[in-house]
Chain A
């Protein structure tokens, strides 16, 4: 079965420290990978996506993620976080059906990033 696992439900970190939010997926077919951010009582906003090509993907707000096919991972990183990065982060995977394409996104359970001064 296809699934997405976010290994940490909460990640506390001090301001200006680096952070890594972990995401692993399970799939027998090719995947597209996404990271979304959600601020309280709001919808989701796309941070970055991996479709093909370079395995290091840069996104908005200084975030980047690396696709590792052998480890089936897509971890999100930021070298120096700010208070404003406090939010919930969701990893998502998209699989294209063999019969041709519908974009079903499967989400992880989310990681709550708490940045402290």
Chain B
């Protein structure tokens, strides 16, 4: 079945540690996105990538980094510079053309203690 896989579903880390969230898609989509979700704030765009080896900062990129070495993969690293990393992270992909919907993974809930 085609879709987007995020792993792990739950992740716990100590403060000050970097952590990488995985996102893989087999939909042959060019565009991929990372969103952060906090209660009552909707989804905020962290990074997006329209094509392999290219990515752009979204609205809240500080403290995060990404790579896009393969079309299928778009990992997100939450660095120690992110001041409030505890959140629900959602990865999405789309054909990348205006008007096409985004398909979402099941999310990763990151808790930093």
Contacts and interface: CB of A to CB of B under 8 A. Distances in A.
Contacts of A42: 106-107
Contact of B102 (A96, A105, A110): A105
Interface residues of A, number: 26
A50 to B, nearest CB: 9
Given A9-B40, A109-B40, A110-B40, A43 B99 contact: no
A41 B101 contact: no
B99 A51 contact: yes
A43 B104 contact: yes
Interface residues of B, number: 30
Interface of B: 4, 6, 31, 33, 35, 40-43, 45, 48, 50, 88, 90, 92, 94-107, 109
9 contacts: A9-B40, A32-B99, A43-B104, A43-B105, A101-B96, A103-B95, A103-B98, A103-B100, A105-B92
Given A43-B4, A51-B99, A103-B100, 18 more contacts: A9-B40, A41-B107, A43-B6, A43-B106, A43-B107, A44-B43, A44-B92, A44-B104, A45-B104, A49-B101, A102-B50, A102-B96, A103-B31, A103-B98, A105-B33, A105-B45, A107-B35, A108-B42
